[in-house]
Chains A and B, each alone.
Chain A
C-alpha cells in the first residue's frame, strides 16, 4: 500500500517551533490526505486537500499540494508537546488509498 515517500523520517523540535513534513507520491490523485498516529494507536484523519487545490488550512495545520511535482507538505505551527506522533500522507485515487511510511515528530517541552 505504500506509494509515497515522506521526508524526513524523523524530526525533533522544541515546543513553539514550526514542524514541516514533506510527502511525494507517484500517480495521479483525486486528493491527498494527512493522518496522525499516536504511539500504539490507530490513525486519525487530519486534513484533506483536493487535486485542484494548492493550499489548505485547519487550525495550526497548513497543507500545500504541488501536483506538477507530485508532492505535498504539512506544516504544524507553534508546535506543542502533544503534537508528538507519527504523521502519514495518503494519496487517494478512485477508491485506492496509498500511505507513505510516515514522519516521526518529537516535540520537546
Chain B
C-alpha cells in the first residue's frame, strides 16, 4: 500500500448525505483511479484521471463525482444519488505506460450506510 494513502478507513453515510473519500499519492504518477468492490467480487471502475484538471467516467460513474486539482490528489464524492453506496472503495495510481502499466493501490475505504 506504500505511496498511496486513503482516508478514512471506515466511513458511514446517512440518508441523503454526500461523503468524500480521500486519496493522496506521493509516487509522482500521472494517472489515478477509483474502483468499487462488492463482497466476493472484482473491481469496477468508477472514474479515472490521466492528467490534472481532467477525468473520465468509468463503467459505474452514476452517483459519484471526482476532482483532480492537484497531481497528488483524487478525491471521490459519493453523492446522495448513489442509492446503494455500501462497498469497499479502492484508489490506485499508475505511471500510465502505454505498454506496461502497473497499478498501485491504497488500503481502501469501507463505506456503510447508517
- Please list the residues of chain A having a beta carbon within 8 angstroms of any beta carbon in chain B: 1-2, 30-31, 33, 40-45, 48, 50, 88, 90, 92, 94-95, 97, 99-102, 104
Would you list which residues of chain B between 1 and 58 have a CB under 8 Å from chain A? 1, 4, 6, 31, 35, 40-45, 50, 58
Chain B 98-114: CB-based contact to A (< 8 A → 1; otherwise 0) = 11111111111010000
Asked if residues B102 and A48 are in contact (CB atoms below 8 Å), the reply is yes
Asked if residues A1 and B101 are in contact (CB atoms below 8 Å), the reply is no
Is B87 an interface position by the 8 A CB rule? no
- Of chain B, the residue at the smallest CB distance from A92 is B101
Complex Cα distance A44/B107, Å? 10
| Other-chain contact of A30, B4, B50, B98 (Cβ < 8 Å) | B98
Is B90 an interface position by the 8 A CB rule? yes
Given A1-B35, A41-B108, A42-B108, A30 contacting B43 (CB threshold 8 A) = no
Asked if residues B101 and A42 are in contact (CB atoms below 8 Å), the reply is no
> Which size bracket describes the interface of B in this complex?
20 to 34
Complex Cα distance A108/B68, Å? 44
Chain B residues near A50 (CB-CB < 8 A): 99-100
Asked if residues B1 and A1 are in contact (CB atoms below 8 Å), the reply is no
